[in-house]
Structure 1
Amino acid sequence: MTDLLTAENALNLVMLLFLQAVLGFDNLLYISIESQRAPVAQQKAVRFWGIVIAVALRVVLLFVMIHLIDLLNEPFFIMDWDGILTGGVNFATCVFLIGGAFIMYTAVKEISHMLSIEHLGTDIKAGSGKSAAQVVGLIVFMNLVFSFDSVLSALAISDVFAILATAIVLSGLAMLLLAEKVTDFLKKNRMYEVLGLFVLLIVGVVLLGEAGQAAVHGMEAAGMAHEDAKALALHVFGYEIVPMSKSTFYFSVAVLFVVEIIQSRYKRKLTAERSAVARRV
């Protein structure tokens, strides 16, 4: 126990909490949006159990990855269709590909559903047809997809299971506290829900980009030289799949929100001016 109470572990815990906060933004956004697809009376319980189960499974995932990191890093298939598709495929590649494709599908489907609404006063969630158990399952599944990236990043900071698990549990508690507030905000400001869906669409693109480099990062973590690991990067028609940087992602999100705020203020100003002109006439 005394071995854990060191200045190095304390600093690592602070860094891990910051990392979880940064990487957990898209996760929290997904939980807030997806939970609204459940029956209204069960939405709060869905968010609670979705987060609790997901955090518990994230700790299990962390334990597994610490003990099986070499096996998970090792590519189990090498694609060598020269000029068409080349690169290595490991466990992380599959997780990012499936998760990225699924979250892009979800975002596009919900955006299309919003565009098909004829009466704005109608509850857009009423036609989702998802049970509470289905929504909890989706939240847990996507939480694990998001977790994979954050766990890999966390392992680069510390390999002490107790410190890593503590950071995960504390981030889970933070999500429990914030999920209700974020959901209420989206309900009161429906325009930001549309923005949230576009942000999730970008997240899907980010995950697909991560898939292209998953085998590279995995083998570098296992000790392979960068030049040798680079040969495992996915290439499509000769072009390397490169992940979007976190700074680019957050800059894109910030631009989306700034544009929406400016557009909303301009729309209100334009409406006020038209009303003033109509009164004068």
Structure 2
Amino acid sequence: MFAELISPEQLAILGQIIFIDLVLAGDNAIIIGMVASKFPVEQRKKIIFWGIGGAVILRIILTLLTAYLLQITGLRLIGGLLLLYIVYKLYVDVIKGSEQEDDIKVDNSNFLKAIWTILLADFTMSLDNVLGVAGAAGDHYTLLIFGLVLSIVLMATAASLISKWIKEYKWIAWAGLIAILVVAVELIYTDIKILFL
């Protein structure tokens, strides 16, 4: 298994997964932090705990579903097109530097509403991460699990550091963007080859 992991193909996939996770995983924790900051200190820890806990469960379910769905002919094409849209959105948000913080409305009167806001935001943002990682990993399930664990660790611990790095070193954002673009093109090409060629 170790010999497999150091094959050039798997090293390339691993690199793609790391860059996709670096660029996409930070957003989720930033959202959790933003929502939690609107609450009194004693409630913040609970919101962060339940927000990250819910996000982890959501991400595991989405990864298992996506890995299964990407095996179905036709869905890879849809997944690839969705990733192309994500590449465009990332280019506008990260590379051009437009902030999306204003889009999130937080009702700081209700603890459950705050958790719901986090889960809803995390669902939409986890989808791009999971799709990117599952698309890059392909049939390499060890790497898929590695990508899932890495995204959870990054989301729970290093989000603010990652967002600072991305703002400071634009090449990280560009590398992530290119990695996602490659995955999108591969997914689209795989299905076009099966369906039309």
The TM tier, using the shorter chain, reads 0.5 to 0.7
Larger RCO (alpha carbons 8 Å, 6+ apart): 2
CA–CA separation in structure 1 for the residues paired with 2:76 and 2:135? 17
Q: Does 1:161 align with 2:141?
A: yes
Query: Given the superposition, is the C-alpha separation of residues 222 and 13 from structure 1 closer, same or farther in structure 2, using an over 3 Å criterion?
Result: closer
CA contact (8 A) 2:14 2:143 kept: yes
| Separation in 1, partners of 2:103, 2:59 | 27
Q: Cα–Cα, structure 1 residues 46 and 71, in superposed 2: closer, same or farther, change >3 Å?
A: farther
Contact 1:20/1:150, CA 8 A, preserved across alignment: yes
> What do you get for the CA RMSD once the two structures are aligned?
3.9
Distance 1:32 1:72 in 2: 37
Quick check: 1:129 aligned with 2:109? Answer: yes
Between the aligned residues of both structures, percent identity stands at 23
Q: 1:55, 1:137 → 2: CA distance? A: 14
Contact 2:63/2:148 (<8 A) preserved: no
Aligned counterparts of 1:21 and 1:109: Cα–Cα separation in 2: 22
Equivalent in the alignment of 2:102: 107
Alignment partner of 1:223 out of 186, 191, 195: 191
The alignment's TM-score, normalised by the length of structure 1, stands at 0.43
Q: Render the CA deviation track for 1:178-208: whole Å, top value 9, x for unaligned.
A: 35x67xxxxxxxxxxxxxxxxxxxxxxxxxx
Partner of 1:28: 29
Q: Is the 8 A contact 1:20 1:167 kept in 2?
A: yes
For residue 6 of structure 1, what is the aligned residue in structure 2?
Answer: 6
Change (3 A) 1:45 1:170: farther
Q: Which amino acid aligns with 1:32?
A: G
Correspondence 1:150 to 2:150: no
CA distance 1:106–1:128, change in 2 (3 Å): farther
More strand by share: 1
The CA deviation at 1:145 is 0.9
Q: 5+ unaligned residues in a row in structure 1: which ranges?
A: 76-87, 97-103, 111-124, 183-215, 229-281
Larger Rg over CA atoms: 1
Give the distance between the partners of 1:9 and 1:48, measured in 2 at CA: 34
CA–CA distance in structure 1, aligned partners of residues 69 and 59 of structure 2: 15
Q: What is the CA-CA distance between 1:11 and the residue it aligns to?
A: 4.1
Alpha-carbon separation, structure 2, partners of 1:58 and 1:173: 12
How far is the alpha carbon of 1:137 from its aligned partner?
Answer: 2.7
Deviations 1:201-229 (A, max 9, x none): xxxxxxxxxxxxxxx9898266127xx9x
**How many residue pairs are counted as aligned between the two chains?**
153
2:92 aligned residue = none
Please identify which structure carries the higher helix content. 2
Q: Which residue of 1 aligns with 2:53?
A: 52
Partners of 1:30 and 1:45 lie apart in 2 by 15
Task: Tell me how far 1:21 sits from its aligned partner.
Answer: 1.0
In the other structure, the counterpart of 1:17 is 18
For residues 64-75 of structure 1, what are the structure 2 equivalents within 5 Å? 64-69=65-70, 70=72, 73=75
Structure 2 gaps of 5+ residues are 87-98, 162-183
Residues 30 and 155 of structure 1: CA distance in aligned 2, closer, same or farther (over 3 Å): same
Describe the superposition over 1:133-175 as per-residue Cα deviations: whole angstroms up to 9, x where unpaired. Answer: 3322322221121121122222332212331222222222222
> Counterpart of 2:108 in structure 1: which amino acid?
S
TM-score by length of 2: 0.58
